[in-house]
Amino acid sequence: MVGTANNGRLRLAFSLVNGSQDLDLSSAPASNAGSECGGIEFTREDVEALVNEKMKYKNKFNYKERCENMMEYIKRLRLCIKWFQELEGEYAFEQEKLRNALELTERRCSEMEVALNNKEEELNLIILELRKSLASLQDKLAKEESEKKAAVDSLTKEKEARTSIERSQASLSEELEKVQGELDGANQRIASINDMYKLLQEYNSSLQLYNSKLQTDLDTAHETIKRGEKERSAIVENLHTLRGQHKSLQDQLMSSIASQDEVMKQKDALLNEVACLRMELHQTREDREHYQQQVQSLAAEVSKYKELATNSSELEEKCLSQGNQIQILHDQLAVAERKLQMSDMSIFETRNEFEGQKKLIEELQNRLEDAEFKLIEGEKLRKKLHNTILELKGNIRVFCRVRPQLPDDSSSNQAKVFSYPTSMEYLGRGIDMTQNAQKHSFTFDKVFMPDASQEEVFVEISQLVQSALDGYKVCIFAYGQTGSGKTYTMMGKPGQADEKGLIPRSLEQIFQTKQALQPQGWRYEMQVSMLEIYNETIRDLLSTNKDASRIENGVAGKQYTIKHDANGNTQVSDLTIVDVQSSREVKYLLDRAAHSRSVGKTQMNEQSSRSHFVFTMRITGVNEAPYSSFNHVPTLHQSTEQQVQGVLNLIDLAGSERLSKSGSTGDRLKETQAINKSLSSLADVIFALAKKEDHVPFRNSKLTYLLQPCLGGDSKTLMFVNISPEPSSAGESLCSLRFAARVNACEIGTPRRQLNMRTSESRLSYG
């Protein structure tokens, strides 16, 4: 079944789809040379002409000619489909190849990107460390340069002070020698004075002894001077004091010379002046001691300045070594900068390579998208051709589903009843059943093995559900014996999202598609009804009137009638119809209907459905946009809005069972008889349709009369035949498979879309 695509995109011609390769449908894949199609090629025009071809008959009552033409047409369609399947295989191979190349390139790109990031982080850390080292070295260099400058200034000042002290010491030595000479002259001049001379001799010897003592003290003072660095400031003051004392000494010497001259001139006054001379001699002794102390201090200053000179040389050597260290650091910084430049170049090259890989990935992704688009277009065309064949055949599609083994089933040691062919022709479509050593083979549109999930089953019918939104009448019903899994297929297990059945999943798809089509101007209205046919009586499962839904003695409290109009629509009188806007509302109604449905316990099933459950959704769609995107063909908006009407019937039939196996009695017996009778009427209708009889007994039961438009009208119909894998149910399973094969062979009317102009309010009807 091919429904309206959700994206609303026009299907392009194959020449446009293939793009730069300029490939159209006429260019068949290389593998066609050895395929079943031989050298036959199809163009887009050939396919459209083949799909739109209408049969022309010389005599419309010549069924043999019609059959031959139809077989020839079907043969050409099959040939076209096989050609497209081979083309699809080529596209799939190319897509897989491109996908592998893309994955390899993405893997390499990701590895390269990780390596690039790691290398960039490592280089950033190295650069950060180098920058920190450079900053610390610059701070250290500035600090040492400032220290060096301060040391040079201090050394210059000390040299100047040393020079001035040496000059002062030289002048003092000269003055001391002069004074000593003058003193000797004075001693010679007073040689006549014996006592004075003796005293002076004694004084001279004492001075010599004192000098030797001073020399000893000077050696001791050298050791003390080492700890006298803190007395540097006092030296300058001592120098100033020394200069002042030197002046006073000069004055005193001058006065002494004057007094001595006066003694020479005045010999008579020498005796009177002896006392004065003694005092002066005493003063001279004190001055001499003072001068000796000054000489000692000057010698200490000299040694101190010698030590300072030594320290200054050490400072110069230290500054020189620091300069060498700074030069080494400058060289290391230059090397680090060169490494940084090389790292930047490496990063730039890596980024260029990454950009190239990125462009290559984008190109591969574009090619992959083109291949996927071509594959999707080919699949759409294949589905369209397949749908065309099914519509021309006018048959009912049949899916078979085998229930998995349950813990309560019989022992698995018995031989397996079912097997599944693995050949390409019957893979997924064939099922073989073995009974009494005899093999029975059946082929359906789809066969689901026991391990098939609910999602896999729904995927196969999703396009059929989409057809209801496109304006078709759709009917899906489950058939099979009691306990074969019909209700599980249709409803699933409540509260388990992964095991939702076809009905909840179909509703989710419908409301999601409704939401997606709103931007295109489509507005949908949904109406829902639910009923059951119990003992050939219709019950409204959504009715709020308890008396209407109550059953007494097998008769419902309220009678409902089924009517068909000229357009093939079916209406049930007084049936509760609910307008719904979301899947949550429908789920609430389903839960409410499930609690009202008739179920019972038999020997074949603990919770057996004792009635036929019919869920119906009427879908009315109106395109309010200026241009209609329906069916992918843009048409001008008419004065009246275009409207589509679709109907979705989802039916869970009651299970067929043999009275001998079910053990039904009383009410259960009546229920079983009514169920088997309605299913037997359904079989009679199917057989009459298969034989193309003029009269089809739709009115033999409420079920067949309700489903008349689905079985004999223009509806898209799908039957699920559910099979139990138990060997004890092999007889019932064989009957179900044979019935399903007869259903699959039936021909009904060609489905047609319900398109008309928007009318006033319309109520729900069955397709």
Q: Which residues are annotated as a binding site for ATP?
A: 480-487
With beta carbons less than 8 A apart as the criterion, state whether 221 and 304 touch: no
Annotated binding site: 480-487
With beta carbons less than 8 A apart as the criterion, state whether 120 and 347 touch: yes
Tell me which DSSP letter residue 471 carries.
T
With beta carbons less than 8 A apart as the criterion, state whether 751 and 715 touch: yes
The neighbouring-strand residues paired with 285 are: none
Continuous segment of H or E residues that includes residue 164: helix 63-189
> What is the C-alpha R_g of the chain?
61
Mode of pairing for the β-strands spanning 397-402 and 570-572: unpaired
The CA-to-CA distance between both ends of the chain, in Å, stands at 17
Residue with tokens 């009889």, as numbered in its chain? 693
Instruction: Give which of 66, 37, 40, 44 is closest to 54, Cα–Cα.
Output: 66
CA distances in angstroms from 24 to 18, 33, 53, 377, 653, listed in the order given: 7, 18, 21, 12, 49
Rounded to whole angstroms, how far apart are CA atoms 655 and 733? 12
| Burial class (CB within 10 angstroms; exposed 0-12, middle 13-18, buried 19+) of 444 | buried
With beta carbons less than 8 A apart as the criterion, state whether 490 and 503 touch: yes
Rounded to whole angstroms, how far apart are CA atoms 48 and 381? 10
With beta carbons less than 8 A apart as the criterion, state whether 38 and 545 touch: no
Rounded to whole angstroms, how far apart are CA atoms 409 and 182? 150
Rounded to whole angstroms, how far apart are CA atoms 528 and 615? 8
- 439 C-beta neighbours (distance < 10 Å), count: 9
HSE-CB at 695 with a 13 A cutoff on CA atoms is 3
Q: Helix, strand, coil proportions of the chain in percent (round to 5)?
A: 60, 15, 25
What dihedral do alpha carbons 658, 662, 663, 664 form, nearest 10°? -90
Identity at 704, one-letter amino acid code: T
With beta carbons less than 8 A apart as the criterion, state whether 580 and 526 touch: yes
Mode of pairing for the β-strands spanning 716-723 and 473-480: parallel
- 434 C-beta neighbours (distance < 10 Å), count: 15
Rounded to whole angstroms, how far apart are CA atoms 62 and 133? 103
Tokens of 91: 């596209």
Rounded to whole angstroms, how far apart are CA atoms 708 and 569? 10
Instruction: Give which of 341, 630, 714, 654 is closest to 483, Cα–Cα.
Output: 654
Helices (H) and strands (E) in the chain, counts: 16, 21
Strands in 131-287 per DSSP E: none
With beta carbons less than 8 A apart as the criterion, state whether 607 and 599 touch: yes
Say whether 249 sits in a helix, a strand or coil. helix
Tokens of 285: 């002794």
- 715 C-beta neighbours (distance < 10 Å), count: 26
Rounded to whole angstroms, how far apart are CA atoms 264 and 189? 8
Find all residues with CB under 8 Å of 475, minimum gap 6, and list them: 649, 651, 707, 710, 715, 716, 717, 718, 767
